[in-house]
A and B are shown apart, each in its own frame.
Chain A
Amino acid sequence: MSADPFVAIWLDTRQDRSPQVVLEANTDHWNRERGPRLEKVVFRNDLTPQEALRLVCESEGEVDIVTEVSPADADRVKSSQYAHLVSTDAMRVLLGIINRDAAPFHDVRARRALNLAVDRRRLISDGLKGYAYPTAGLIPHYCAGYNPDLKPYSPDPQEAKRLLRESGYPEARPLVLASLPGLDGLANLLANDFRDALGVQVQVVVIPESDLLAAQHSFVEKVIPAPFDVLLFAWFDLSSDAPAAFMHSWLYHSMGPFRAGPPVGEFEQLLAQYARQTDQRELNRLDQEMDRLAHEQALSLFLCAPQALYAVNRHVKFVGHAATFEVAETEVDEGHWSRRGG
């Protein structure tokens, strides 16, 4: 509690985007080989993602690149005469944050049960149309610090059920599976796996977009107990060189905003070593150690690394980046609407 005389009960931290943001080429940029290769890039914020996808697939001159294309729309882009699909191995993971404060998920057997209940191949093929890789931990196979000795949990419904029973999970207790907005289809696939493998009731709660900020604050502040057993969560990294600095630390460290449960002693020690380590090879060895610990202790429900999908006009040459959205190297050919004149 604050000792100050007043408490703010409402604080608006949202800001609407302006209708468009225009970037003009800096022709004095030091990296001549890189670019910029375009004269102008206009970020349009006056379109919904659905409108944008329709325009890039069915027309020219309105929209050239749409980011964050849903796997469900990938075939629509691929069959378009105006656009093509760019898929990029991205520094992104899809996972379930397991609430280790909610009994019996303080018990590694219950957490392993969740991991053994899920058929990742089916989740990827049915829920993400194949545009993802199954993961054993938080580090995708194309990232520094990947531990090749770790294999994704294989579905084993019998063992999952046995472990959950041994952990003392009450028979009538429903499992609360919360989900970020937009992940409800995947949450329902997961719920089916939990019901089938574990024989439990599953309550799926999708956080409305309008409540997301408040839910994030509540979760990060950790004043109120987290109201879920598993939160289906999408996380990312800013680079692929030291993944535990951003991925693992935010999810498991005592100072981690998305930690759901008590700090883990061994993890605290590893991250303390890691933060002081200036040798890149040793840093990546510790990345591997932290991913091993997370996997063995089933600190999360490890699912997959989704690819980033882009719908791109056929006259635009665009290279997706793993850890950002870059346009400096993007270029257009002579057939592009902006170069045809008129």
Chain B
Amino acid sequence: MAEATIEAPGVPKRKTPVGTIHVVDPHPLNWLHITWNTMEEPVRTDAQGHLIGAAMGESRWVDDRTLQVHMRPGVRFQDGEECTAHSFQRAFEEVQKWRAPHPPGTSLNFQQGTKLELIDDYTLRMHFPEPDGLVLGKFRGFHIPSTRFWNEIGFGYKKRGSGEGHW
């Protein structure tokens, strides 16, 4: 198949998107597919399903209850705002308010009592009350939008005024 993208002059590796496709996705998780195609998370999955860094460049366990996260520099939301540790913090504060912010269950919730410590604009630490070996997987469902998203739109629980599992 011929290469479908075109090198834009003067910008290495930047390719100009070309073409339009029409998709019919009857999968019941279509809403999640669209979310994953349009929103940042700390991690995403590669074609084989393995977790790889996305908005998060890297992470390391400082001890078994403290995860240090380095946000990837240069990530910008569609509205131009930079995605930083502050964006992570806002998203954390928004979801942590609710008992069941992720339909249809609570397995993606961060532990109650988890504290966030900002080290600098790109670095933060998550302090868990108990070791959380599943936190990197939970990051797959931890959407990090811009400030405008939270202030003007929000997820379903902002619209409905409840994040208590009305699924």
- Which residues of A are at the interface with B, using a C-beta cutoff of 8 A? 11, 13, 17, 21, 23, 25-28, 30-33, 35-45, 47, 49, 52, 56, 62-68, 89, 91, 142-144, 216, 220, 236-242, 245-246, 249-250, 255, 257, 274-279, 283, 313, 315-317, 319-328, 330-336, 338-339
Contacts and interface: CB of A to CB of B under 8 A. Distances in A.
Contacts of B72: 30
Instruction: Rank and list the top 8 A-B pairs by shortest CB-CB distance, nearest first.
Output: A240-B49, A322-B49, A331-B4, A52-B24, A332-B19, A323-B49, A25-B17, A64-B21
Contact of A245 (B49, B75, B107): B107
Contacts of A324: 32-33, 36, 45
Given A250-B105, A250-B107, A278-B131, A327 B21 contact: yes
Nearest to B83: A30
B24 A47 contact: yes
Contacts of B106: 255
A39 B18 contact: yes
Interface string B44-68: 0111111100100000010010000
Nearest to A25: B17
Contacts of A277: 131, 133
A238 B132 contact: no
Contacts of A220: 104
B113 to A, nearest CB: 15
Interface string B1-39: 111110000000111111111111111011011101110
A78 B166 CA distance: 42
A323 B47 CA distance: 8
Interface of B: 1-5, 13-27, 29-30, 32-34, 36-38, 45-51, 54, 61, 64, 72, 74-76, 78, 80, 104-107, 130-134, 136-137, 140-141, 166-167
Contacts of B54: 31
Contacts of B3: 331, 333
B23 to A, nearest CB: 5
Contacts of A245: 107, 134, 137
A320 B23 CA distance: 14
A179 to B, nearest CB: 16
Contacts of B64: 276, 278
Nearest to B67: A278
A321 B19 contact: no
Nearest to B40: A30
B49 A49 contact: no
B23 A65 contact: yes
Contacts of A38: 17-21
A30 B24 contact: no
22 contacts: A32-B14, A35-B17, A37-B4, A38-B20, A40-B19, A45-B24, A52-B26, A68-B25, A68-B26, A143-B49, A220-B104, A238-B45, A242-B133, A242-B137, A279-B133, A321-B47, A322-B49, A325-B27, A325-B37, A328-B37, A331-B3, A332-B19
A28 to B, nearest CB: 5
Given A38-B17, A239-B50, A64 B107 contact: no
Contact of A275 (B2, B61, B76, B134): B134
A283 B45 contact: no
A32 B27 contact: no
Contacts of B76: 28, 30
A274 B167 contact: no
Given A237-B49, A276-B130, A323-B45, A17 B30 contact: yes
A92 to B, nearest CB: 10
Given A37-B18, A64-B23, A322-B49, 6 more contacts: A38-B20, A66-B25, A67-B26, A239-B45, A240-B48, A319-B47
Contact of A39 (B2, B20, B27, B46): B20
Contacts of B25: 43, 65-68, 325
